[in-house]
Amino acid sequence: MKCKFLDEKCYEFHEKDSGEQCFLCSANSQHLFTVRQLSSMKMVHLCGECMVNNSSEYLLDNTRPWEGDKGSSR
């Protein structure tokens, strides 16, 4: 059986990431982005402002295997 979460460990969230607040400024934003922290290679949630201000350290990750099939547009 094909498991789309096979690489789940590649998408481990940072232990201090809540998923409800910005990882950096702790803002309770409704529009948090899932990004990868390059220093730890873990996923964190950032508000738009922090993402822009720290774009060299955090990469927007569009693969998000938990939302659907990888590599397909639909």
Residues that bind Zn ion (CB under 5 A): 22, 24-25, 27, 47, 50
Minimum CB separation from Zn ion for residue 35, in Å? Answer: 11
CB of 64 to Zn ion, least distance (A): 20
Closer to Zn ion by CB, 24 or 44: give it.
24
Question: What is the spatial distance between Cα 47 and Cα 54, in angstroms, rounded to a whole number?
Answer: 11
CB 63 within 8 A of CB 73: no
Q: Which is nearer to Zn ion, 11 or 27 (CB)?
A: 27
What distance in Å separates the CA atoms of residue 55 and residue 33, rounded to the nearest whole number? 12
User: What is the nearest approach in angstroms of Zn ion to the Cβ of residue 32?
Assistant: 8
- The token pair at 30 is 């409704």
